Amino acid sequence: MAFGEQPAYLRVASELREKIVNGDLPPHTRLPSQARIRQEYGVSDTVALEARKVLMAEGLVEGRSGSGTYVRERPVPRRIARSGYRPPAGSSPFRQEQSEAGARGTWESRSDQREAPPEIAERLGIEPGERVMRTRYVFRDGGEPMMLSTSWEPLTVTGRTPVMLPEEGPLGGCGVVERMAAIDIVVDNVVEEVGARPGLAEELLALGGVPGHVVMVLERTYFASGRAVETADVVIPADRYRLAYHLSVK
């Protein structure tokens, strides 16, 4: 193969992808069979199979048991607004993001005490095994799962305080900044790192995705005078949503 030349299966996948994108193969259309791909492109069965695997991994097509492989409906990505300013009192960041987008969001949560695993302990600046409050969230937009989040807070910070449970008590659901302020901790910095990876099976099941779908992972940590007081992993389907950041220059 000459320098820069694509392997045959990628070339076939590229041509089929173009047909899907430009509408020659619209949603719910059956993808050409392996035999048809072999004949049309003059490739082997192996190449035809690998090309189909590429399209499935990209989420462009899906297999239907006993029926074949079909072009998937492609959702129009929606924006999730992120901003550096503090939401109004009594409003969580999620409520603020949803109101800006004109959406009606809801969420479910469950909190429990855990020992901090090593990677979370490192992010929080505590020793592995120290007790943390872990809270898992499923966020919904119009009833459809749109985002997952797992939050960890050191119990050395919130333990035996009115805000120990993030979603219960007088400040339940108000967000980290306001809850911490209630116990005289001033959050003055937040760091977010965004990456992407294939979704885990349980994540895709909760979000309504299919195996191989990519998710964005937003790793967020709140700090007060250099001390981490909360860290979270937010998981968002990459094919359905885009993160839009509003950054002030003042």
Q: CB of 154 within 8 A of CB of 126?
A: yes
Quick one: average pLDDT of 84-111? 62
- In CATH terms, 8-71 corresponds, of 3.40.640.10, 1.10.3720.10, 1.10.540.10, 1.10.10.10, to 1.10.10.10
- Per-residue pLDDT of 13-72, as tens digits, reads 999 999 998 999 999 999 998 899 999 999 999 999 999 988 987 878 888 878 889 998
Quick one: average pLDDT of 81-97? 56
106 CB neighbour count, 10 Å cutoff: 12
pLDDT band (50, 70, 90) for residue 1: very low
How is domain 78-245 classified at the architecture level of CATH? 3-Layer(aba) Sandwich (3.40)
193 Cβ contact partners less than 8 Å away, ≥ 6 residues apart = 218, 219
- Predicted local distance difference test score (pLDDT) of residue 62: 84
The most distant pair of C-alpha atoms in the chain lies apart, rounded to whole Å, by 71
Q: Is the confidence at residue 126, as pLDDT, over 60?
A: yes
Quick one: average pLDDT of 193-219? 88
The residue ranges of every structural domain in the chain are 8-71, 78-245
Establish whether domains 8-71 and 78-245 are of one fold: no
For residues 119 and 98, what is the distance between their CA atoms, to the nearest angstrom? 30
pTM of the model: 0.73
- Per-residue pLDDT of 75-85, as tens digits, reads 777 877 776 54
